[in-house]
Amino acid sequence: HPEELSSTDNASVPEKFALKAAYPNPFNSMTLISYSVPVASHISLKLYNLAGREVRTLTDEMQKAGNHQVILNADQLASGLYFVRMEAAEKVFTRKLVLIK
């Protein structure tokens, strides 16, 4: 028998891939990056500087369906503008981050 999902499980699985706005942003040393995964997928979440160079990989792995969060600790990064890029199921999402120290 296939397992049936209860309505609460259905409610917790997002309908589409999404990279949400980081909070706080602008930020000083840490920010929380949230994203949604509707079906188990390989998720790549990377941080790029203004010159387009990859600065850090936040995640690069298979993830279960659901809402996920990553904390970015920017203690080693210089102040400035950064971009978080999420690649999932041939979709690409980008969000701007402002680091102020």
> For residue 77, what is the enclosing H or E element?
none
DSSP strands (E only) in 1-101? 18-19, 30-37, 41-49, 54-63, 66-73, 80-88, 91-99
Mean pLDDT, residues 64-88 taken together: 95
Dump pLDDT digits (tens) for 9-30. 445 789 999 999 999 999 999 9
Task: Record the pTM.
Answer: 0.86
The structure tokens listed for 9 are 């499980």
Cβ-count burial 34-64 (b if 16+ within 10 Å, e if not): ebbbeeebebebbbbeeeeeeebebeeeeee
